[in-house]
Amino acid sequence: MQEKLSGINSVREALNGSRKVHRIYVLKERQDNRLQEIIALARTRGIKIEEASRQQLEQLAGNDWHQGVVARVEAIPMSAWKILLNEPQKEQNLLLSLSWMVWKIRKIWELSSGPLNVPVFMG
């Protein structure tokens, strides 16, 4: 099963982590250092990179705050979530898990009711 991640930090973390990244979609018009770093990481891992228009990225991401990059990644199995939530070995893993869950809640809310602006504080 696959899911999509959008945004510079989310995609970079997926590329640096152990999740399988199937493909990266990047905004044709964006040519800055942060996006070039993601492209370089994807190339070193042999991941296919496709250029896309803003409209295509919005359709892929399901939102307009993709920051010019969307990745198709292997979904995290539910068993992995149970381990992270029940036996967090690192505080960072738990914070990452909670951040991901907040993102999913926002996504579900947007699909049913429109944008939800809930700040996430990490620190």
22: containing domain: 1-75
CATH number at residue 56: 3.30.1330.30
Task: Write the DSSP symbol of residue 77.
Answer: P
Both 49 and 103 in one domain: the answer is no
Q: Say if strands 69-74 and 48-52 run parallel, antiparallel, or are unpaired.
A: unpaired
Distance CA 20, CA 15 (A): 8
Contact 118, 106 (CB under 8 A): yes
Per-residue pLDDT tens over the stretch 24-77: 999 998 889 999 999 999 999 999 999 999 999 999 988 888 899 999 998 876
Helices 78-86 & 91-113, crossing angle to 10 degrees? Answer: 130
Both 90 and 39 in one domain: the answer is no
Both 9 and 66 in one domain: the answer is yes
Give residue 21's identity as a one-letter amino acid code: V
* 18: Cα within 13 Å, side-chain hemisphere: 3
Both 3 and 45 in one domain: the answer is yes
Q: With a threshold of 0.85, does the pTM exceed it?
A: no
